Amino acid sequence: MRYCTLLFPALLLAQGPYVAEGLRIGEVTDHSAMVRFRLSQQPSQNKGRYQPPKYEGQRPPALPEDQDPWLLPGAVPGLPGRVRLWVATRPDMKDAKPGEWLQSEAKSDFVVKTSITGLRPGRTYYVGAEIHSKPDKPLASFTTAPEPNRRAPVRFTAVTCLAYRSLDHEEGFEIFPSMEKLAPQFAVFTGDNVYYDNDPPLANTVEAARYHWQRLYAMPRPLAFFAKTPQYWMKDDHDTLCDDCWPGRDPDWMKPMTFADGQRIFLEQTPIEGKTYRTFRWGKSVQIWLLEGRDFRSPNDAPDGPAKTILGAEQKAWLKSTVDQSDADWKIIISPTPWVGPDRPQKGDNYTNAAFATEGKEMRAWAGQKKNVIVLCGDRHWQYHSVDPESGLHEFSTGPASDPHAGGSPGEDKRFHRFHRVAGGFLSVTAEPSATGSRLVLRHHDVKGAVVYEFSPGA
């Protein structure tokens, strides 16, 4: 890939680098956080909206071989540079302390990731970046989790299915300012954060895949949201490689992009270090598990049976043991794909399908017998609250990020559904300390933020 550093005037390069994609702060605990950012040649993304050529069918055309993605509308050309973060407890950055100097390089797409440690529980921090001079204002802020045994109010949001082709506002999805108004302590992106395989242009190269992230998450609305809200990122099929993919499935029409490339790019684009399945706690009220649904799964078309898996043996054992060990008031398992559903009968990619019936029944039975365990899921293009008739397990689907992306539901099923809505929006979860523990409330919102359904377990 050629980079446009050779084409820009020397004066402009002297003014850069910039941080056009902002800071993505994630993996926040009561004492640490991870920061991901990328140095750029210009202060904002390329102007305009990508307009694909006309095509037939669901598979969009790839970019011409002589087309450089960094020239496209919405792209963010990268730049090598030296930078360090400053962290403060005051918004005017007067008490800011510097971190180590870091270098962005072309081999990692000019992405820089670093951890912030030694933080105090339940405290707000402000983060700025020094490129030419010490920052006098922050690029982002976040609040650490409370101590693990302290009950404190919790509010977070969860979203899925953010397809660029289904944008409902020229500055980014409507859900971003809607979520921002709720002032959540964090947001969970449950997967399908981009669509490599069916959102034009086809991301069949690493450079085109990176472009998919740049054009969406460098837009004004997500930037504003990220500046105030840390995130926990999960991946699913479309932001790994292609629909319903698994390790070893590298279709010719996606090459040279591979499953392994998708795994690497996801870690590059998000503030994650280490395993993509993990758990974190937000005080005594809530503990959350984020599952990995692609990296360890059996082929979807393999015969079902006790050995067939989505989670893999190691992750499954980890999930069961850590849930058993938790003394949090509420235990929330977030899965990229559904556990309860129901789903369309022709599908074969998740626990609600016959293809994974054995492990699906096992996991629902296990979770259903646990006290105060709830499942949230992404992936589905409709919102629902379902209760499994056999195990009693409750599941909440966030729904897609926009109304144009909604659809595909098999219809309302009274055996399962407490709520069913084929439209876009997001899910919010709150926990408030009470005399006997914590009161949990789950709310489905439309894209403007209006509450369309509310449920409180035990109420």
pLDDT of the residue at 459: 66
Q: How far apart are CA 193 and CA 234, in angstroms?
A: 8
Packing angle of the helix pair 206-217, 259-269 (nearest 10 deg)? 30
Q: DSSP secondary-structure letter at 78?
A: B
174-209: b or e for each residue (b if 16 or more CB lie within 10 Å)? bbbbbbbebebbbbbbbbbbbbbbbbbbbbbbbbbb
Who contacts 95 (Cβ-Cβ below 8 Å, separation ≥6)?
88, 89
Return the beta strands (E) in 272-425 as ranges.
278-282, 286-290, 330-335, 373-377, 383-387, 394-397, 417-421
The domains of the chain are located at 1-42+77-144, 149-455
pLDDT the model gives residue 5: 38
The confidence score (pLDDT) of residue 57 equals 87
**pTM score:** 0.96
The candidate with the shortest Cα–Cα distance to 28, out of 402, 248, 288, is: 288
Closest CA to 347 of 381, 390, 376: 381
The Cα 125–Cα 145 span in angstroms is 12
Domain spanning 149-455, CATH architecture: 4-Layer Sandwich (3.60)
3-class secondary-structure state, position 6: helix
CB 151 within 8 A of CB 283: yes
CATH 2.60.40.380 fits 1-42+77-144, yes or no: yes
CB 125 within 8 A of CB 140: no
- DSSP letter string, 203-243: --SHHHHHHHHHHHHTSHHHHHHHTT--EEE---STTTSST
pLDDT value, residue 7: 38
pLDDT in tens, 37-62: 999 999 999 999 999 999 998 899 99
Length of the chain: 459
First to last CA, the chain: 57
Structure tokens at 50: 């990508």
Residues (pLDDT < 70) of the chain are 1-14, 459
- Round to whole Å and give the CA distance between 442 and 454: 6
CB 416 within 8 A of CB 389: yes
Position of tokens 């859900």?
Answer: 175
What's residue 436's pLDDT? 85
